[in-house]
Amino acid sequence: MEKVLVEKTASRGIAVAPVYLYLDPDLSFGTEKISKEQVQEELDKFTQAKTAVVEELTVLAQQNEIFAAHLEIAGDFMLQDGVESKVKNDLKNVQQAISETIEEFAVIFESMDDEYMKERAADVKDIGKRLLAGTKHVKLPDLGGITEPVIVVARDMYPSDTVKINPSLVKGIITEEGGVTSHVSILAKSMGIPTLVGVKGILSKVSDGETICMNAGEGVIVVQPDEEILNEYKAQKEAYEAEKARLESLRNTPAVTKEGKRIYLCANVGNLKDIKNALVMNIDGVGLFRSEFLYMQNTHFPTEEEQFKVYKEAAQLSSQELTIRTLDIGGDKELSYYEFEKEENPFLGWRAIRISLDMKEMFKEQLRAILRASAFGHVRIMFPMIISMEELKEAKAIVQECKEELKERGEAFDENIETGMMIETPASVILADEFAKEADFFSIGTNDLTQYILAVDRGNKKIADRYDYFHPAVVKAIGQVIEAGHKEGIKVGMCGEMAGDQKAVKLLLDLGLDEFSMSAGSIDYVREQILSGN
């Protein structure tokens, strides 16, 4: 028996089942140069493989929107150019040309600081694998063929693998690579499959068909379990599932505290799919729409029209409230199409509202899109990283300018749209009483607030134990902000990770927090905590 401990959980749950080793076929290739006469033949192989991949992806895109992005990558002229030039100019065979071009593409994504964008490299590699298999006429393994309950163990899983999963047979997923924001993690979470990713060395520890146990919530895998452990995990699994069913049964109960205060439970989202996933949890709206993902997954600054389409649908989906945070780029989030100057301290640098105020026309494109969407639902505008009253007033004045422009154009919008701000800088805490007179709502961003109050980098693993939102200084700041907001009669929410932490619920309720906004997976747990009053 061996216990493997894993740091990060992608999707909670417990599983006991035989291993299904899911390994890629041999897609290796030679590296010998081709002759000039072979160039056309190699290019034809690429065209054929690409046509087949595009056809396949077109079908998949109708089932799952992830593949719309794949389709775009497959049709990207840079991919085409990259392969063609390597075949024509460097006389590389088509497989080597594909592999190298895909690698170049993937490296661009992997080198981004943002965890989410890093994971997009998997999409690129997925396409590379399909193209290689196509040129070699090799069939890729298919998870759709599983007929018995299993735990799938793989090096990595691509989006196209995960959509074929039947959640009633795939009881668990373990991968050697990948992160918690990868597609496999997101999809596994939405399907409720216990999943652990980035488990180094797991492939050499398990063999096909042997039964293993996993508790994804606790990050434990047991290889070659004895009878006692097997029974223990089976009992744990039953208890976990009963608890899950109980939590789900509470979804129609409004979150009202023992004292009778109605608490709003909202979701943090980055796209429309996240909203759809969160709706199942019976949310009170979206407390944080991270609009930067719209910019990051693009080849250019999205236009007013492009943004309007997304915000409008988001407003229609999140029936009760949609809080759109204006662009929060910079810090660790970059754009592939815009060169940011290298900075000594990016988190203290040109980011968020600072960029929006400096790039006014770009900011206005976004604001007009948000305003127009406000004709289709209860939309709120939220500014990130505010440190001064001047910034807040300037941002609000630009909203006003946009309103005038829309009026002239005859476009509909909510004249009384609320404009609020994130409280994520020490300055905004200290001046909260003044800000509360000017802002329509506050949302406390504990992710940044903790790093700025404690001077502890939120992404630095070496000092992760010092990054603590239960630190008395952070807790005191939260209390002050809530008090300042309530004094002026405005609602105070929280959209940092602390809002989704069960252990923080009682404390935040005692401090008077009105709205908790978190990733969808935490909502059931926080609701239960509020109802039970523990």
Binding site for ligand PEP (CB under 6 A): 288, 290, 328, 424, 445-448, 495-496
Q: Which residues are known catalytic residues? A: 183, 495
Q: Which does 496 bind (CB under 5 to 8 A by kind): ligand PEP, Mg ion, none?
A: ligand PEP
What ranges make up the beta strands (E) of 424-480? 441-444
CB of 334 to Mg ion, least distance (A): 15
Q: Report the residue number, 18 or 179, with the smaller CB distance to ligand PEP.
A: 179
Residue 21 has φ and ψ, to the nearest 5°, of: -75, 125
The secondary structure of the chain in percent helix, strand, coil, rounded to multiples of 5, reads: 50, 15, 35
Q: Which does 161 bind (CB under 5 to 8 A by kind): ligand PEP, Mg ion, none?
A: none
Taking the CA of residue 404 as centre, how many other CA atoms within 13 Å lie in the half-sphere pointing to its CB? 6
Please report whether residue 194 would count as binding Mg ion according to CB under 5 A.
no
CB of 517 to ligand PEP, least distance (A): 8
CB of 31 to ligand PEP, least distance (A): 43
Q: Which does 495 bind (CB under 5 to 8 A by kind): Mg ion, ligand PEP, none?
A: ligand PEP
Residue 515 has φ and ψ, to the nearest 5°, of: -135, 135
DSSP state of 335: B
Q: Report the residue number, 182 or 268, with the smaller CB distance to ligand PEP.
A: 268
Q: List, in sequence order, every residue forming a beta bridge with 363; answer none if it has no partner.
A: none
CB of 469 to Mg ion, least distance (A): 13
CB of 164 to ligand PEP, least distance (A): 32
CB of 328 to ligand PEP, least distance (A): 6
Please report whether residue 284 would count as binding Mg ion according to CB under 5 A.
no
Q: Report the residue number, 329 or 373, with the smaller CB distance to ligand PEP.
A: 329
CB of 440 to ligand PEP, least distance (A): 18
Q: What CA–CA distance (Å, rounded) separates 522 from 338?
A: 34
CB of 492 to ligand PEP, least distance (A): 14
Q: Which does 336 bind (CB under 5 to 8 A by kind): Mg ion, ligand PEP, none?
A: none
Q: Label residue 506 exposed, middle or buried (CB < 10 Å: 0-12, 13-18, 19+).
A: middle
Measured from the Cβ of residue 438, the count of other Cβ atoms closer than 10 Å reads: 17
Q: Report the residue number, 16 or 352, with the smaller CB distance to Mg ion.
A: 352
At residue 290, the 3 state secondary structure works out as strand
Whether 314 and 293 have beta carbons less than 8 Å apart is answered as no
Q: Report the residue number, 165 or 186, with the smaller CB distance to ligand PEP.
A: 186
Please report whether residue 128 would count as binding Mg ion according to CB under 5 A.
no
Q: Report the residue number, 4 or 518, with the smaller CB distance to ligand PEP.
A: 518
DSSP state of 333: B
Q: What CA–CA distance (Å, rounded) separates 359 from 217?
A: 43
Q: Which does 420 bind (CB under 5 to 8 A by kind): Mg ion, ligand PEP, none?
A: none
Taking the CA of residue 55 as centre, how many other CA atoms within 13 Å lie in the half-sphere pointing to its CB? 7
Q: Which does 302 bind (CB under 5 to 8 A by kind): ligand PEP, Mg ion, none?
A: none
Q: Report the residue number, 86 or 325, with the smaller CB distance to ligand PEP.
A: 325
Q: Report the residue number, 158 or 516, with the smaller CB distance to Mg ion.
A: 516
Cβ within 8 Å of residue 505, ≥6 positions away: 516, 526, 529, 530
At residue 118, the 3 state secondary structure works out as helix
Region 412-471 residues binding Mg ion, contact defined as CB under 5 A = 424, 445, 448
> Torsion over CA of 122, 268, 431 and 391, rounded to 10 degrees?
60
Taking the CA of residue 22 as centre, how many other CA atoms within 13 Å lie in the half-sphere pointing to its CB? 27
CB of 531 to ligand PEP, least distance (A): 25
Whether 298 and 285 have beta carbons less than 8 Å apart is answered as no
Q: Report the residue number, 221 or 353, with the smaller CB distance to Mg ion.
A: 353
Measured from the Cβ of residue 224, the count of other Cβ atoms closer than 10 Å reads: 14
Residue 196: closest CA among 227, 172, 174, 166: 174
Q: The tokens of 334 are what?
A: 């970059």
- Secondary structure of 145-203 as H, E, C letters: HCCCCEEEEECCCCHHHHCCCCCCCEEEEEECCCCCCCHHHHHHHHHCCCEECCCCCHH
CB of 379 to Mg ion, least distance (A): 20
Fill in the amino acid letter for 112: M
Q: Report the residue number, 175 or 451, with the smaller CB distance to Mg ion.
A: 451
Cβ within 8 Å of residue 462, ≥6 positions away: none
Q: Label residue 302 exposed, middle or buried (CB < 10 Å: 0-12, 13-18, 19+).
A: buried
Q: Label residue 118 exposed, middle or buried (CB < 10 Å: 0-12, 13-18, 19+).
A: middle
Q: Which does 13 bind (CB under 5 to 8 A by kind): ligand PEP, Mg ion, none?
A: none
Please report whether residue 292 would count as binding Mg ion according to CB under 5 A.
no
Tell me which residues touch Mg ion (CB under 5 A): 424, 445, 448
